[in-house]
Amino acid sequence: MRVVFRVDASAQLGTGHLMRCLALADELRSKGVEVSFICREPSEHLCDDVERKRDYRLHRLTQAAPQSDAEETKSILSRERRVDWLIVDHYGLDAQWEQQMRPYVRKIMVIDDLANRPHDCDLLLDQNFYIDMHARYENLLPNQCRKLLGPEYALLRREFKAARKDLKERNGKIRRILISFGGSDPTNETLKVLQAIRLLKRNDISIDVIVGIESPNKEQVKKICSQMQHATFHCQVENMAYFMANADLVVGAGGVSMWERCFLGLPSIVVVTAQNQKDAASAAAKSGAIWNLGWHENVDPAMLASTIHRALNSPNDIKRMAERAIRLMENAETSKDSRVVEFLIEKPVLKREHYRLRPITEEDLEKVLTWRNSERIRANMYTDHIISEFEHKEWFQKINNDPAVACMLYEIKGVPAGVIHYTNIDRRNQKCEWGFYLGDPDLPKGTGIIMGYLGVEYAFENMGIRKLYGEAFAFNRASIKFHRKLGFVQEGRLTKHIRKNGQYEDVLLFGLQHEKWLSFKAQLAHCVFHIPNE
């Protein structure tokens, strides 16, 4: 498989577009995909990053006008062997340019943030959060184009996914501030923030200042940092996730890095430095995930100092911001493979007949007991003692005689793989509670969501249930994400509800109505089984 990226980066344009394309390229290459880049006159540093450090083939364009760009790009593509995907991340290119590429590639993917021009593409990615996210591209795309919209499709480097797994809980207290305005920062917002921090005269706060090699102001910033007792200057770091994970507050721009910060639950004061950041920053602020100071020309050191002072004295607000940032990004993929890669690399259709639910029988009890007593499963259960064989058989006899309980075994090609149990089945009000677990921790990716799909489908279409509901510990991020991916909404929170490992834990309540399932089922079936929507 061969993929070609068309993307530009410079001190004027910034480096965010290239960085997110490189994150996707690295994932594709790990799958054996051959990747190359087409860029217009990148700087020597950017060439070094793409060609020498990452070892990608780089084709350089010399012309800026769209038609000249198209002619040069077509010439390069014509010399390439079969190109499966052309991925375009460029605000200056639209459907007219893309149509000219059609004879040279199998499919086209566009990465966009603006929704301000038509595209001729097979796949569109907009990883930003907007209030009107699903309506922004109406009448701008071909009917057959698949849209990947929202932070759940964010292109995140693997270092951020690794940092998320070991993330410490933020308590709202600020001891370390990170200042980072991307790879170039042409308007020198970094200087404003340093001036603001000087106004505060808080020598008890450690400051990390990160600039990119493309920054025209890096020497000035370095000099000012050397004059501040607790400020440390860093240039072109390779471990940004480390700095974000260890900071308590960041002051930075919108754009790609804003989603990286939200993914790590890092409270952010955002200054909008480009037009394409405005709407996403506004939407993120409305969700409570960031504090947005608005357009950079209207932000001065005094405003920054006042906002940072407020943050230093509002630990509860800062903790709440961290929680909402995590919540905004909780559907973003934390495994090493992003969901975008799944759409680019064609998979064989998974056949429904390979997966099924059936009632648990006495022959299944030994295997189910082994699963249930594993530390991995007990860690997320309300009752976490080791269950005896006698106790297990008593449970089986009880559920067989209780019309308010049903317990199903999940099978893949006839091999047991997990359990779904329905309890508190209320025929009068047509509702019931559910629970679930996969038995084997090493099952293929996607196995769990298929089990969930079948479990929800069984409740609504076989049991005649109107509402399905469930519970999850607030610390069980996997279960929370699983419920939301299946269409459940959070309906409540029980504070300090269940005693677990010597302390009382919060429990989240989730519900799914039959009407929502009917509207959501076809879309989910496509994602789960890779089959067309009906």
pLDDT of residue 532: 43
Residue-averaged pLDDT of the chain: 92
CA distance 44 to 426: 68
pLDDT of residue 53: 83
Backbone angles phi, psi at 401, to 5 degrees: -105, 10
Q: Is 90 exceeded by the pLDDT of residue 306?
A: yes
**What are the residues whose beta carbons fall under 8 Å from the beta carbon of 518, sequence distance 6 or more?**
none
7-16, 99-108, 230-239: which has the minimum mean pLDDT? 7-16
Between CA 50 and CA 58, with CA 56 as vertex, the angle to 5 degrees is 75
Confidence at 533, pLDDT banded by 50, 70, 90 = very low
Backbone angles phi, psi at 128, to 5 degrees: -90, 160
DSSP state of 175: S
Backbone angles phi, psi at 142, to 5 degrees: -60, 155
Contacts 24+ apart (CB under 8 A), 520-526: 520/487, 521/457, 524/453, 524/486, 524/487, 525/453
Confidence at 349, pLDDT banded by 50, 70, 90 = low
Q: Which residues pair with 83 in a beta bridge?
A: 105
Q: Is 60 exceeded by the pLDDT of residue 348?
A: no
pTM above 0.75, yes or no: no
Q: How many residues does the chain have?
A: 534
CA distance 386 to 373: 6
Q: Are 374 and 324 in contact (CB under 8 A)?
A: no
**What are the residues whose beta carbons fall under 8 Å from the beta carbon of 116, sequence distance 6 or more?**
none
pLDDT of residue 347: 63
Higher pLDDT, 525 or 210: 210
CA distance 335 to 356: 26
Confidence at 211, pLDDT banded by 50, 70, 90 = very high
Backbone angles phi, psi at 75, to 5 degrees: -60, -40
Q: Is 50 exceeded by the pLDDT of residue 383?
A: yes
Q: What is the pLDDT of residues 98-141, one digit of tens each?
A: 999 999 999 999 999 999 999 999 999 999 999 888 899 999 99
153-167, 188-202, 372-386: which has the minimum mean pLDDT? 153-167
Higher pLDDT, 166 or 64: 166
Q: Is 90 exceeded by the pLDDT of residue 508?
A: yes
Q: Are 449 and 455 in contact (CB under 8 A)?
A: no
